[in-house]
């Protein structure tokens, strides 16, 4: 399969896995706008980005690009920080925020978050097709120009912000076996094209 600029693309991710960055790269490559889908309805446009779960039938017209993060713990920690500070993305032309460290204690939210991660990936693993793309933030970052005009890590030093960091990480690790099972088909997926070299 070759990436074709005449096709429609949908960027799919659970969240905190580089999907905004990947959307920006596809936006530049396709020379179009990236529509962020906030409702249960896709649009017949060139490029869109969503965290929702859509059926295979709804996604059939699109090249599906799944955004993943190899380090699941980092993904969960990123969610925690976003919920705490209500700051989801750092624009490169804005000053870095000065965050106050905090002790995390919303274990019910973290429990639901880990379960939601599994549910999202279980939903999509049954739909995974050979022509789909699975892209990893960790594989993409080394290919980016330095400095990158549209990427700045939002929370680069998580351990300094979460005062009970080790406790939180240990809690997340209780869910790791089930989370790793949920992403198994994605981890084994082999892309039919080197999308990184096309979009970067």
* 133-181: pLDDT as tens digits: 999 999 999 999 988 887 888 898 999 999 999 999 999 999 999 999 9
Range of the domain at 134: 8-199
Instruction: Provide the number of structural domains found in the chain.
Output: 1
Note if the bond before 36 is cis, omega within 30 degrees.
Answer: no
CA-CA distance, 77 to 79, in Å (whole number)?
5
- The burial of 11, by beta-carbon neighbours within 10 Å (0-12 exposed, 13-18 middle, 19 or more buried), is given as buried
Lowest mean pLDDT among 55-64, 84-93, 191-200: 84-93
Short-list 157, 84, 161, 76, CA closest to 110: 76
Name the pairing type of β-strands 35-37 and 47-50: parallel
The answer to the question of residue 46 being in a domain is yes
The answer to the question of residue 2 being in a domain is no
pLDDT in tens, 13-32: 999 999 999 999 999 999 99
DSSP code of residue 142: G
Quick check: helix, strand or coil at residue 10?
strand
The answer to the question of residue 3 being in a domain is no
Tokens 């080790």 -> residue: 166
């Amino acid at each position: 399969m070759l990436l074709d600029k005449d096709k429609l693309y949908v960027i799919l991710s659970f969240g905190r896995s580089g999907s905004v960055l990947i959307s920006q790269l596809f936006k530049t490559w396709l020379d179009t706008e990236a529509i962020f889908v906030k409702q249960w309805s896709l649009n017949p446009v060139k490029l869109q980005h969503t965290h929702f779960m859509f059926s295979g039938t709804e996604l059939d017209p699109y090249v599906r690009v799944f955004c993943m993060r190899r380090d699941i713990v980092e993904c969960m920690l990123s969610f925690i920080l976003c919920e705490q500070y209500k700051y989801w993305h750092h624009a490169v032309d804005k000053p870095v925020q000065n965050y106050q460290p905090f002790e995390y204690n919303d274990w019910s939210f973290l429990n639901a978050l880990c379960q939601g991660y599994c549910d999202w990936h279980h939903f999509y693993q049954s739909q995974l097709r050979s022509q789909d793309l699975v892209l990893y933030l960790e594989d993409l970052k080394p290919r980016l120009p330095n400095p990158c005009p549209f990427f700045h890590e939002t929370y680069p030093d998580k351990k300094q912000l979460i005062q009970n960091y080790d406790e939180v990480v240990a809690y997340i690790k209780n869910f790791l076996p089930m989370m790793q099972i949920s992403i198994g088909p994605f981890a084994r997926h082999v892309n039919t094209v080197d999308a990184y070299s096309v979009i970067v």
